[in-house]
Amino acid sequence: MSAATAQTKKVLFVMSAAKELPLKNGKTYTQTGVFLSEFYLAYKAIADAGYSIEIATPQGIASSIDNESYKAKYWKGQEVLIGEAKTFVTTNPNFLHPHTPEYALQHSNEYAGMVIPGGQGLMVDLIHDKTILQIISKMAEDKKAVGLICHAPALLTSYTKADNPFKGYTVNCITGFEEFYIERFVMKGKPYKRKIARSLKKLGFSYKKGGPGSSFAVKDRQLVTSQNPYSNNKFNALYLQALEEYANKP
């Protein structure tokens, strides 16, 4: 793809607007939302490749950022970008005033692909949003690049086996052990929606994973899925590859 062609392409980021996650112990994890490195590093990589980016959230509400995701350990060699990312989410007008999913669905033909960053927030709102599923289905139907990061593959569990647009694909997501670690040491409780990998396998997906905390991502045709914030660089490389392969397909 030439630079000139890339400049005419847009990628849609769909993000959670949730700020709290109810837990089974009656408590609430109040620091949740979108995981910053999973959003910003993907955003930056795609923008640097010459794509313009639009953002959509439920009701057009600016995303909350998970406080845990500001920690340097989740940036793996790119810690210098934390300050830049903080400035972006507090000043960028597109981040602060996103589109609605309904707008994104109406304009889906304008996008070369879509990305959904991880974070616990999406387990509160996006996973129940039928319009989001319609956008994913439309992207799959049109053979456009779809990227689902860390927790985001959980959205695929909202489909039935019959309407799953990626039936038979190989996927990755946060592992069961990584879920346990977050619940035990970060959130101090279990959310109602969990065991994402098990749910994906029950739906007929082929599931592959790396070790806990390792860098791991999977590309199967135009679908790219990744495991955790340590996988950001692998996800970005595979997603850009998917964009190049599928953006110009009829």
pLDDT (tens digit, 9 = 90+) per residue, 145-180?
A: 999 999 999 999 999 999 999 999 999 999 999 999
Intra-chain end-to-end CA distance of the chain, in Å? 15
SS3 of residue 154 by DSSP: helix
**Which amino acid belongs to residue 45?**
A
- Residue whose C-alpha is closest to residue 218's, from 165, 169, 159: 169
Q: Which pLDDT score, from 0 to 100, does residue 3 have?
A: 41
Contacts of 44 (CB under 8 A, 6+ apart): 81
What are the extents of the domains in the chain? 3-246
Q: How far is Cα 29 from Cα 145, in angstroms, rounded to an integer?
A: 32
Per-residue tens of pLDDT for the chain, all 250 residues? 444 344 459 999 999 999 999 999 999 999 899 999 999 999 999 999 999 999 999 999 999 999 999 999 999 999 999 999 999 999 999 999 999 999 999 999 999 999 999 999 999 999 999 999 999 999 999 999 999 999 999 999 999 999 999 999 999 999 999 999 999 999 999 999 999 999 999 999 999 999 999 999 999 999 999 999 999 999 999 999 999 999 766 5
The closest of 36, 96, 98, 53 to 239, measured between CA atoms, is: 53
Q: Pseudo-torsion of CA 144, 160, 23, 151, nearest 10°? A: -20
Q: What is the pLDDT of residues 189-204, one digit of tens each?
A: 999 999 999 999 999 9
> Which homologous superfamily does the CATH classification assign to the domain defined by 3-246?
Class I glutamine amidotransferase (GATase) domain (3.40.50.880)
> What's this model's pTM, rounded to 2 decimal places?
0.95
23: DSSP letter? B
